[in-house]
């Protein structure tokens, strides 16, 4: 094997290792995106439920710490 072939083989291995590292990083980032999308969906549903609950409360029923309307 010539020296140039050895250098090319080392470069190919380095490129392959870099691609594998990028693929692993991409997979981790995609998993995080999926997790954050699920959290966002859950928060949206919770906000919707809180909004529905606040619409169903009678006007005179104020919680502690809320100023009166007078």
For residue 57, the model assigns a pLDDT of 84
Widest pairwise Cα distance in the chain: 92
Q: Is 4 helix (H, G, I), strand (E, B) or coil?
A: helix
| Global pTM value | 0.63
State the Cα–Cα distance between residues 64 and 70, nearest whole angstrom.
Answer: 16
For residue 2, the model assigns a pLDDT of 86
State the Cα–Cα distance between residues 28 and 30, nearest whole angstrom.
Answer: 5
For residue 68, the model assigns a pLDDT of 60
Q: What is the mean pLDDT of residues 4-16?
A: 96
pLDDT at 28 over 80: yes
For residue 22, the model assigns a pLDDT of 99
pLDDT at 61 over 60: no
């Amino acid at each position: 094997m010539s020296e140039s072939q050895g250098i090319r083989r080392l470069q190919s291995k380095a490129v392959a290792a870099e691609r594998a590292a990028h693929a692993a990083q991409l997979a981790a980032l995609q998993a995080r995106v999926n997790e954050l999308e699920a959290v966002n969906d859950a928060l949206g549903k919770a906000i919707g439920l809180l909004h529905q609950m606040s619409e169903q409360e009678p006007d005179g029923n104020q919680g502690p710490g809320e100023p009166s309307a007078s």
